[in-house]
Amino acid sequence: MGNSKKKSKAGSNGNRPRNGASRSNSQLLGKAVRPFDSAQGENGAPTSNHDVRTYSIPDYRLEHPNFTVRQVAEKDKHGDEHVRYEVTGDRDVPVPHIRDSKYLSKEQAIEIYRYMLLNRKMEIALENLYKQGKVVGGVYFGLGQEACSCASSYALDKDDWFAPMIRNQGSLLVRGFGASDVMMQYMAKADSPTKGRDGTSHFGDIEKRNMVSPISMLGDLIPVMSGVALGARLQGRNLAVMTWIGDGGQSTGVTYEGINFAAVQNLGLVLVVESNEWAYSTPSEMQYRCQDLAERAIGYGIPAVIVDGTDACQVYDAVHEAVARAHRGEGPTFIEAKMMRMKGHAIHDAASYVPKEMFEFWKKRDPIARFENYLLKEKKWMTGKENADLIADVERVIEEEREIAVNSPMPTPESAEGGVFCEEGCHEIKPKYGMPKVKKGTAGYKETEATVHLK
Amino acid sequence: MLLTYLEAIRQGIWEEMERDPTVFCLGEDIGIYGGAFKVTDGFIDRFGPERVIDTPIAESAIVGAAFGASLTGMRPVAEFQFIDFIACAMNQISNMVAKTHYLWGAPVPLVLRGPSGGYVHGGPFHSQNPEMWFVHNPGLKVICPATPYDAKGLIKSAIRDNNPCLFFEHKYLYRRIKEEVPKDDYVVPIGRARLAREGRDLSVITYAAMVHTALEASEVLRNEGIDIEILDLRSLVPIDRSAIAETVKKTNKVIVLHEHSRTGGLAGEIAAIINEEAFDDLDGPIVRIAGLDSAIPFSPPQEHYYLPKVEDVVRESRRLKAY
């Protein structure tokens, strides 16, 4: 490799620079790409005949938590060995400020705060419904991730699309669903968005709220959302299409396929990667080897940014910029939001495998408490009275929604039947953003005479 | 006009793309190269790279993206280079595409198509008939044409359908079967079987390439005074239960012939349908002729041994006639 090597111009995206990489012969800027030892001269600097490419990943965070989780074996009092997780690293650093948003107005910030409260109170209500035996199956929580779910979806325009994962129930409220919709899903009620056919956040709405229903398998929404952007682009619209994926879901093959597809096709995917330390009971150390998942974006050739997922302003700003890129037709963005899943995988899971020091560290970084402090004390955008009124109003809304959900009947057994196929008169299908304008070549139809593989 | 099976499919997709701007194609090597079997040869020149999209080698992404586009009201036609690779996209098809309308009510107008079947020495990963995986997966239409006329009429129906349609093209038939096909626009409805040959003595229920195997056998049997009826199912989902019952009521004896492995194959399902619809009309055991319960081997003598043959149909027809 030398400086004279030209970039290939072939392919649909051949004219676009890849990665935004800069080249340097003299110094190493990025941590993601390192020269081989043999390529280094004195003091570890690359020798001049090697072309070292460097990459930068903006990091909006005001702190960089640095722990390591590993498995250790210990003997109990009977002398039997048990394996548990141990965390090491500096956990006594002070909680940082909320970073001022470049884009959010006071009113918008307070609205996001309100959605975060709705998100949390809805999940508390769900926990209570579960304890009352009213929930079918389990309950999934986004405790500690409310800023990420709410501020990210708040940055979308009305016409943009989204597909939440299980811990993004707050995004449903931001996008206009009622808490009762989510509650009825959990209670498998007849009036739930899926009429009892599926639970949790597994529902969609392609008419008004532009939501694709998640499935339980991780990563499959990424190519699907890319396809939504592709369909809209064929109709002349550059939309932002947002979905989330965890550090666990990052490990699936379809995640790779989906991001790569969006990258190659330059589609407006806004992927929020929620690095929340634990995938069910597996720590991120056992999920991937790189320091930050955002480094993977370099491999896809798309821009990435790292944010503090407990800071609503950082999340909003990063997504806002990604959405703007998508609307300009500039392609996908990878946003890694760092935070902690503050409960078990689902309600049955006490998360006893998590070293308690980790909960203690992140509890001080509760996204709602931090944002409340920011709005009331730092910015003085709300008085204590206004905040108390807002909380009371959110609690009233959740109580009303709970009533609606509880009073919905269970579906009839026979309602299990039907609807497998879209039958005559069931749906009229038309392009949502207008008939694609097609350009046709002059070549007409002629029979193919080409040679083929297997005859 | 006289068209090959392949040309009929090509023309069907081409005409739908001419007719409806929401139809577009995506798949591996389908653009300038025109596809491994040339189904989309020349399409990119006419319809442009926006509507004839070469994708990365990523079947889950192809199906996922096609599904996503269909939610915006587009009608994507996604190609699998060989239908064997549909296994790579199984989760998208089974859990995403197939369940959508039932679970949350969104229509999915989507075609997944590709070459299937053996007899061309493609080996274990280029010869399979995986249609039964999807027959057992509610929410998908499964279409397996046997003739150029049907291939063109059914691909058009599939593209116009508001449901996910899996379109299995038999690669052995691509360039071997020719037929006179009307010049005017026509469709073949999905879910209706076709009598490929009328007969009195027994019925062979089959589809795709095996229709032609049965037809060849019928010529041999005719010389022996055995007159077989051949029912071409054309689609496995929906399956034409009344046509199955009708032929059983007429001939009272049935052979089910298919290329895929015997165990868990379509013949078991057809036998159950006959049991439910026409049990009293049976005058003999339902006979299965099917592929072996193994992977499909590569070497021609082994592949020949694995796959159903004309002589199998002849032998079993003689036996059943005499029963």
Instruction: Return the amino acid letter for A30.
Output: G
Measured between beta carbons, the chain A residues lying within 8 angstroms of B24 are 234
Pairing of strands B254-261, B23-27: unpaired
Please name the member of A216, A427, A445 whose beta carbon is closest to the beta carbon of B162.
A427
The predicted-structure confidence for A388-447, as pLDDT tens digits, reads as follows 999 999 999 999 999 999 999 999 999 999 999 999 889 999 999 999 999 899 989 998
Tell me whether residues A421 and B101 touch, CB distance under 8 A.
yes
Tell me, yes or no, if A143 comes closer than 8 A to chain B by beta carbon: no
Q: How many CB pairs under 8 A join A and B?
A: 211
Please write the tens of the pLDDT for every residue from B200-236: 999 999 999 999 999 999 999 999 999 999 999 999 9
Four-CA torsion A401, A404, A409, A410, nearest 10 degrees? 0
> Above 90 in pLDDT, residue A49?
no
- Write down the pLDDT at residue B254: 98
pLDDT in the model for residue A32: 40
Does B64 contact A224 at a Cβ distance shorter than 8 Å? yes
CB-nearest partner of B68 from A228, A437, A441: A228
Give the domain range for residue A140. 81-412
Residues from chain A contacting residue B107 (CB–CB below 8 Å): 422, 426-427, 429
Per the prediction, chain A carries an average pLDDT of: 90
Maximum average pLDDT range among A29-33, A65-69, B96-100: B96-100
B2-180 and B194-322 agree in CATH topology: yes
Residue A89 lies in a domain: yes
Which residue of B60, B97, B172 to mutate against A (max A Cβ within 10 Å)? B60
Question: What residue in B sits closest to A193 (Cα-Cα)?
Answer: B104
- Indicate the residue of A227, A420, A429 with minimum beta-carbon distance to B162: A429
Distance to chain B for A294, nearest Cα, Å: 21
Tell me whether 0.95 is exceeded by the ipTM: yes
* pLDDT tens track for B19-52: 999 999 999 999 999 999 999 999 999 999 999 9
Q: Do A49 and A166 fall within a single domain?
A: no
Mean pLDDT of B55-59: 98
Residues A107 and A37 in one domain: no
B208: left (phi over 0), alpha (psi -120 to 50) or beta: left
Same-domain check for residues A40 and A122: no
Same domain flag for A36 and A123:
no
Helix ranges, A266-365 (H): 296-300, 312-327, 356-363
Of the residues A172, A195, A224, the best mutation for testing chain B's interface (the one with the most B CB atoms within 10 Å of its CB) is A224
Q: Is residue B285's pLDDT more than 50?
A: yes
Q: Are residues A206 and A342 in the same domain?
A: yes
Q: For position A23, what pLDDT does the model report?
A: 43
**Chain A environment of B143 (Cβ under 8 Å):** none
Check CB contact of A204 with chain B, cutoff 8 Å: yes
* Domain-embedded: residue A293: yes
Question: What are the E-state strand segments in chain B?
Answer: 2-4, 23-27, 52-54, 75-79, 110-116, 141-143, 164-170, 178-180, 194-197, 202-206, 228-232, 235-237, 254-261, 287-291
- Say yes or no to pLDDT of B7 above 60: yes
Please, which pLDDT band fits residue A22 given cuts at 50, 70 and 90? very low
Same domain, A239 and A377: yes
Whether residue B185 is predicted with pLDDT greater than 50 in this model: the reply is yes
Could you tell me if A140 lies within 8 Å of chain B, comparing CB atoms? no
Residue pair B263/B271 in contact (Cβ under 8 Å)? The answer is: no
Q: What pLDDT digit, counting tens, does each position of A268-289 carry?
A: 999 999 999 999 999 999 999 9
Residue of A15, A195, A254 to mutate, interface with B, max B Cβ within 10 Å: A254
Where exactly are the structural domains of chain B? 2-180, 194-322
- Domain check: are A162 and A199 in the same one? yes
pLDDT digits (tens, 9 = 90+) for A112-168: 999 999 999 999 999 999 999 999 999 999 999 999 999 999 999 999 999 999 999
A318 has a chain B CB within 8 A of its CB: no
What is the token pair recorded at B195?
């009598």
Instruction: Choose among A255, A244, A339: nearest CA to A300.
Output: A255
What pLDDT does residue A28 have? 33
A243 and A368 fall within a common domain:
yes
| A46 and A92 fall within a common domain | no
* Chain A residues in contact with B69 (beta carbon < 8 A): 227-228, 230-231, 234
Residues A46 and A106 in one domain: no
Q: Does A12 touch chain B (CB under 8 A)?
A: yes
Question: CB B70 to CB A231 under 8 A?
Answer: yes
What is the percent of chain A where pLDDT is above 90?
A: 83
Residues A44 and A107 in one domain: no
Q: Which pLDDT belongs to residue A16?
A: 43
Q: Is A273 part of any domain?
A: yes
Give the lowest-confidence range in A322-336, A437-451, B39-53, B259-273.
A437-451
In the predicted model, what is the mean pLDDT of residues A182-210? 97
Say yes or no: A247 and A198 in one domain.
yes
The domain tally of chain A equals: 2
CATH superfamily of this structure's domain B2-180:
Thiamin diphosphate (ThDP)-binding fold, Pyr/PP domains (3.40.50.970)
Nearest CB to A230 within list B45, B65, B103: B65
Residues A388-413 as b or e (16 or more Cβ within 10 Å = b): eebeeebeebbeebbebbeebeebee
Query: Which among B128, B131, B194, B193 has a CA at the least distance from the CA of B165?
Result: B131
CATH assignment at residue A353 = 3.40.50.970
- Average pLDDT over every residue of A74-85: 95
Tell me the fold of B194-322: Rossmann fold (3.40.50)
Asked whether residue A397 is assigned to any structural domain, the reply reads yes
